[in-house]
Structure 1
């Protein structure tokens, strides 16, 4: 079955899968950045631990809905006015380089790409991971999200 196309508006790199610990900071940051008021958060039930029914945020309670039939790699924020925002979740244990590449990639035009394709572009599978030369000449190229000065080598 082909992957459902979920249009993402950005990405989020939480520190853990503990929804109670992570959601308040996310909502505060999104509210401030967008100048909007988040009323509800929707997430995949099996992708998170300690999911609250609601949590406090700047003088209100934000409701949390959890579902089993949504993409576990995204979180949806619904506001008092305007369209919802869908964020691609970068797994908490992702290394800094690939996580930053994913953040940069989702800031660009990702129209037509599935969430899996975005993650694959920014975070290639370990079998295709480039290997750093021993002389330390490799460096991360921020704009393209690639490693320069390295040769790709499949692990065996």
Structure 2
């Protein structure tokens, strides 16, 4: 399925080095006007209400790690792969820590070193992305899975 990509002026949309565009968002805030995602990945401790588009859920408490890191990596890989030709959104409560961690994982899928991935997301998405040490450790785990970020 190929859809029109995210507009580059859409708030919180970042363009990865590969050209994939991903939107990060906080679920506590109103839905931005304009384009809607074709796939949303929710990073929350409880399953959120289903949006009118396809969504995936990664059980993930605020300031912590995914309940099942291997499954989270597989779901994030799906989001990354689909972002090549779909409008993918990754979101948590505030749109900073968990969302930033997931976006950093996508950067690792692009081939970035984990430290560079965090730095890149902080520069291009939110300065406080990846809020705690263990979230940075999760990004290193992503890099170590199969040596290429692929679970």
TM-score after normalising by structure 1 = 0.30
Larger Rg: 1
Structure having the higher helix fraction is 2
TM-score after normalising by structure 2 = 0.30
